Amino acid sequence: MSAIRLSCAVNNYHWGKHGLASKAAQFAATNPDVTIDDEQTYAELWMGTHPNGPSMVYGTDTQLDDVISENASVALGASVSQRYNGNLPFLFKVLSIEKALSIQAHPDKQLAQQLHAMRPNDYKDGNHKPEMSIALTDFIALSGFRPLDEIAAFLDVYPEFSALVSGAAPEFRRAVAEGTDSERRSALKALFAELMMARDEDVRKQVEALVARVSEPSCNGTELDVSEAALVRRLNNDYPGDVGIFCVFMLNVLRLRAGDAFYMGPNDPHAYIYGDCIECMATSDNVVRAGLTPKQRDVQVLVDMLTYDYGAPSHKLMQPEHKSSVHALYNPPIDEFSVVRSSVNAG
């Protein structure tokens, strides 16, 4: 089968970059039928068969899924077609982030099937959504829980954070100092749950105090500043008074350069803060959110689903395998996809 030119779906979510500042818009603009509006946000470009944003064969009304269905063993290869019942097993996206997007995680298959069965209007499919992101520009994200001693230190440094988790903090400190791994995970879950379920009025009060303290002239940084003070200010500007602001003290901060990648497995908390990336995932649109979003929040579901793995940010990063001078393979620990980066000269 020869290569097929596609027309790809674009999402204009509020957190996207405006106009041609967005990589999603730049790729969308390769379609001569697309006109980019400088006043519009362009958040995502989807390439795949998911019904929420199916790709079309360029210049036709034919969906990519229809082309695959005609002869899946040829379009996908016999082994992939057989394993995934003739369906494209991955969804490929370009994301362009100006404002942070939600504290979130994606369910494993068992939970995805349960959520889809109980609430099909909120969770559109029963598949898991492990995903990998590869930065196209300088990129900032939160991913996975920090080393526990860092979280404990933040409890001492930031009284506003400590005030929101006063019930769980003593046991958390004890577990960090002398607990087993199981006790530490349990204490981490209790701390995160108390934070994310704090009363809105208490959160707003503590955010106001925190922002006042980190907004001194000496705290001013650059757009790519990933200090705690800079991130607090940025997130409060994006989502004033939101509890997700305090996740800066609980989740690892990643600052990536173009070509850097990280993997997010099922039930792994993360949030994108700024930049452009490509994102590849199992074919699903299931997202469980709990902060930094105007969308529906399923805080209890998120708290209960997480694995509470913790550790240094380096364990989230993926190193590509360089297959040649121009090809690099990003190969996450799942079966649905890998990504090959090919570098070619301009012109």
C-alpha distance from residue 259 to each of 29, 262, 273, 333 (Å): 23, 10, 17, 18
Distance CA(278)–CA(192), nearest Å, equals 29
Contacting residues for 168 by C-beta, under 8 A, at least 6 apart: 187, 190, 191, 193, 194
* C-beta separation of 133 from 278 below 8 A: yes
DSSP 11-79: E--TTBEEGGGSHHHHHHTTSTT----TTSEE-EEEES--TTS--EETTSS-BHHHHHHHSHHHHT-HH
Helix residue ranges, H only, 197-298? 200-214, 228-238
| Residue 316: exposure state from Cβ atoms within 10 A (0-12, 13-18, ≥19) | buried
Describe the crossing of helices 148-157 and 169-178 by its angle, rounded to 10 degrees: 140
Q: Is 118 helix (H, G, I), strand (E, B) or coil?
A: helix
Query: Which of 173, 289, 297, 341 is labelled catalytic?
Result: 289
Q: Which residue has the tokens 């497995």?
A: 265
Active site residue 289: yes
* C-beta separation of 258 from 75 below 8 A: no
* C-beta separation of 146 from 251 below 8 A: yes
Catalytic residues: 289
